[in-house]
């Protein structure tokens, strides 16, 4: 398997609520929906996408019904490589305990690269070569 991207929840949410269709987060989300690049999800990540998209303050920004959110998530899952969450904790501790499932998933497959806007994750030296911004993904042909 060549390079496969994990798209962090903050990128998916931002891509859905931005009013700028040319912003990196919108381009990444559109790329996911059109299967323009290889990306992976897990059940935990899809559940986090859903939870965040249905939070009242975020729901107010995008205005989608729960059924419409589920349709988008189903489409994402259909284009994704669905990975099982690792059964055991792996060797790297996430800088934010709430992101440990992402760190475990990332550490479980050498070809995975996390795309995030989270500065804490971007600055962690343990995964420095495996965490990039949405802007860094764009030169790979997502325009």
pLDDT in tens, 79-128: 999 998 766 655 677 888 888 888 888 888 889 999 999 998 888 887 88
pLDDT at 89: 57
Fold of 4-140: Rossmann fold (3.40.50)
Residue 25 predicted with pLDDT over 80: yes
In whole angstroms, give the CA distance from residue 115 to residue 132: 5
Q: Where are the domains of the chain?
A: 4-140
Give the residue, 5 or 141, on which the prediction is more confident: 5
Phi, psi for residue 6 in degrees, rounded to 5: -100, 125
pTM for the full predicted model:
0.90
């Amino acid at each position: 398997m060549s390079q496969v991207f994990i798209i962090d929840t903050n990128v998916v949410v931002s891509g859905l609520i931005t009013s700028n269709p040319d912003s990196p987060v919108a381009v990444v989300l559109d790329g996911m929906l059109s299967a323009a690049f290889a990306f992976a999800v897990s059940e935990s990540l899809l559940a986090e996408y859903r939870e965040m998209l249905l939070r009242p303050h975020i729901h107010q920004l995008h205005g989608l019904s729960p059924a419409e959110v589920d349709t988008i998530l189903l489409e994402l899952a259909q284009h994704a490589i669905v990975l099982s969450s690792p059964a055991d904790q792996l060797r790297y501790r996430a800088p934010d305990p709430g992101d440990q499932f992402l760190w475990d998933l990332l550490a479980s497959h050498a070809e995975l690269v996390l795309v995030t806007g989270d500065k804490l994750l971007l600055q962690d030296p343990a995964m420095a070569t495996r965490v990039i911004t949405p802007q860094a993904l764009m030169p790979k042909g997502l325009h």
